[in-house]
Amino acid sequence: MKKMIFEGSGVAVVTPMFENGSVNFDLLGKLIEFQISNGTDAIISCGTTGDSSTLNHEEHCRVLAYTIQKVAHRVPVIAGAGSNDTAYAVELSKEAKSYGADALLSVTPYYNKTSQAGLVKHFTTIADKVDLPLILYNVPSRTGCNIKPETYLELSKHPNIVATKEANGDISSVAKTKSLCGDELAIYSGNDDQTLPFLSLGGSGIISVFANICPKEMHDICAKFFAGDLAGCRELFLNYLELMNSLFSDVNPIPVKEALCMMGYDVGPCRLPLIGMSESGKKTLQEVLRKYKLIA
């Protein structure tokens, strides 16, 4: 059995920005402290929710380095270091390791995509060249590229490929992947609204958007499950399902950044091509946040 990076709730933390689009590092530090003080089990930096697709190389590296330094080994830091260019993914992964990252998150190639054999070659190349635990990230709705269970089995044979963040929305494929890979591949849900089903199939937790606004609640959902309190886990999960879904009422991370702003964390806008929510969308989100007593 491979060493687990974390069990429970890992937050795909947002990257706060000023109105001019530059990174707000002071606020990033406050968000990290908010997460750790509320029980978050891992910090995932520069993922989709962290606006990674519009950070340039220098910004990406500065955010990773700052986050790793700020966390200071209190919880694992998983560095988003994927690319559709294998050589660049290796370069970014090496930089993340040099800063002290505990693990890497590597998305499937997007736009150019690849075959299943190409996925094996892509990820094993990264894992061969960078001696850090590697979490694969499968999100075909964004990339147009899906990792099949049989491909996971082949990838799980590599000692550095330890887990996947699975966001293909297909619970049946998750069950098959777990059946094939067993303890050789930890599985984290990539969708908040599927956390409980993933846990029930032997998942190790969640890499969460929802945890940005409710870190303790998402930690507790996982903790109750692992403690054997299945009824308590289910009750808490179902109670927060509406709020989880509200954070996907527009393209991620637009709603979660809007929610944080409403809660008093001025994380600023996303960069183009993402734009702010419509006024009606904001009003609906505000009503949900008020229902859960996150805003007055």
pLDDT given at position 3: 86
**Residue of 137, 152, 188, 240 with catalytic role:** 137
Q: Is residue 1 part of a domain?
A: no
pLDDT value of position 2: 81
Interatomic CA distance for residues 213 and 14, integer angstroms: 10
Active-site option among 70, 165, 224, 257: 165
Domain assignment present for 21: yes
Low-confidence ranges of the chain (pLDDT < 70): 1
Is 267 contained in some domain? Answer: no
Residue 13 counted as domain residue: yes
Assigned domain for 108 exists: yes
Task: Report which DSSP code applies to 49.
Answer: G
- Where b means 16+ CB within 10 Å and e means fewer, 185-206 reads bbbbbbbbbbbbebbebbbbbb
Gap between the Cα atoms of 247 and 245, Å rounded: 5
Q: Is residue 96 part of a domain?
A: yes
Report the CATH number at residue 202.
Answer: 3.20.20.70
Sequential DSSP letters for 180-193: HHGGGSEEEESSGG
Q: In this structure, is residue 277 part of a structural domain?
A: no
Residue 243: what pLDDT?
A: 98
Is residue 137 annotated as a catalytic residue, yes or no?
yes
Report the alpha-carbon distance of residue 57 to residue 59 in Å, rounded. Answer: 6
Domain span including residue 225: 8-229
- Our count of domains for the chain comes to 1
Tokens of 163: 């887990």
- Number of Cβ within 10 Å of residue 4's Cβ equals 14
What pLDDT, on the 0 to 100 scale, is given for residue 255?
98
109 occurs within a structural domain? yes
